[in-house]
Amino acid sequence: MSSIMNCWIELIVRIVPIVTAVATVIVAIYVARISRQQWRTNREKLRFDLYQRRFEIYLRVLDFHLALLEWQDESKLAVLYVPFLKAFCESKFLFPKESGVYDFLRDYNERAARVRVSKSGIEPLGDVSQEARAQLIEDKIWIKDCIGILDEKLCPYLNFHSI
């Protein structure tokens, strides 16, 4: 009986390290799989959050743009200007420089400011030079037609499937 017992003990002594090694590998593979799934989830969440931030910029610019085109009341426009200004500033950090989004919004902001000043009556139109009037007309036309340009610049960053 002691020889059978010795065989079993010897077998267990040899098998335990193998079972332990296999169990360790299985646990490591399982942990790696869970880590990969968490990485994917976090990557998708980052993608979605970035998309939301960029789309929010688009909506704020669009709201301000529509209010500027309608021009019913300076106070309404002033309320929408603050979110637009925040969107303009955020665009510097949320879009790559080569996208041109920030530069476009800076140009838009400057032109919109000139149009707001002229429409609000802060500066009487009679005192404005011919060059300033021509610039104002150019600004109004540019602003009227610029949403298509904005769409083109933002399209690569708002296409959720390619982000």
* Pairwise CA distance, residues 46 & 61, whole Å: 23
| The total number of structural domains that make up the chain | 1
pLDDT, tens only, 14-51: 888 888 899 999 999 999 999 999 999 999 999 899 99
Domain range for 13: 2-162
DSSP string of 57-73, one letter each residue: HHHHHHHHHHHHHH---
Round to the nearest angstrom and report the end-to-end CA distance of the chain.
71
Yes or no: say if 136 and 122 are a contact pair by the CB < 8 Å rule.
Answer: no
Instruction: Show the tokens assigned to 123.
Output: 């500066």
pLDDT, tens only, 80-118: 889 999 999 999 999 999 999 999 999 999 988 888 877
Residue 113, domain CATH? 1.20.120
pLDDT, tens only, 134-163: 887 788 888 888 888 998 999 988 886 665
For tokens 């925040």, the residue is 86
pLDDT, tens only, 43-86: 999 989 999 999 999 999 999 988 888 876 777 788 888 999 99
What's the half-sphere exposure (Cβ side, CA atoms, 13 Å) at 88?
Answer: 19
